[in-house]
Amino acid sequence: MSLTTSAPIVEYASSCELPTPWATFELHAFLEPHTGKEHLALTLGEIGNGAPVLSRLHSECLTGDTLFSQRCDCGAQLEGALRKIAQEGRGILLYLRQEGRGIGLINKIRAYKLQENGADTVEANHELGFADDLRSYAICLPMLEHFGIQSLQLMTNNPRKIDALKNLGIDAERIELITKSNNFNARYLATKASKLGHLFPKT
């Protein structure tokens, strides 16, 4: 079954090496023409040979990935996924510019303020007039096609990602990606489980 689309949602732009503490990845840039957003893929090893690929679809979280925020688990998940891919010697991480589950950075900061006043992460989105989750994973299809990938071992606690990929014709098996909770993100993680369907081990 071909995954080719007549009008790609994202277009390949360029690649380079990216040395990290865990491995030297290949960094690939993609452009989403109708929004101007720039998405990334980090790859390691031979990933286009038809075998399932260890993978992560990671939505941008500036506060967690870059500023080390403890209010979420995003930075820890990003690091954990890259570590696991490096240990495997083969894999792909798609870094998607969908900040704040799609509401954008400024609205995420507004949502944080509402959370400080008692709302949980879902309630804060609703108070701002947004749905629980505005992300689209359709942008992953042309990115994965570029590398000849049709089957994933996806590191995620979010079953919606698995369903979205399967709806695109991509076979995906879920691999859990658990990080440690802390005093700042415990309610956030509990809300993801109770209201967004994320799967975490029983404690």
pLDDT at 16 over 70: yes
Judge whether 56 counts as a catalytic residue.
Answer: no
Selected catalytic residue, list 56, 73, 120, 135: 135
User: Are residues 41 and 95 in contact, defined by beta-carbon separation less than 8 angstroms?
Assistant: yes
Cβ pair 8, 142 in contact under 8 A: yes
Quote the CA–CA distance of 191 and 28 in Å, as a whole number. 33
Q: 18-44: per-residue pLDDT in tens?
A: 999 999 999 999 999 988 999 999 999
pTM value is 0.89
Cβ-Cβ contacts under 8 Å for 59 (sequence gap 6 or more): 74, 96, 98, 99, 101, 102, 135
Q: Is 133 a catalytic site residue?
A: yes
User: What are the residue boundaries of the structural domains of the chain, listed by start?
Assistant: 11-98+135-196
- In this prediction, residues 108-132 reach a mean pLDDT of 90
Quote the pLDDT of residue 113.
94
Indicate which residue of 110, 133, 160, 174 is catalytic: 133
CB within 8 Å of 117: residues ≥ 6 apart:
none
Q: Which band of pLDDT confidence, cut at 50, 70 and 90, is reported for residue 131?
A: confident
Strands 53-59, 151-155: pairing is parallel
Domain 11-98+135-196: give its CATH architecture: 3-Layer(aba) Sandwich (3.40)
Dihedral of the alpha carbons of 96, 97, 99, 104, in degrees to the nearest 10:
-150
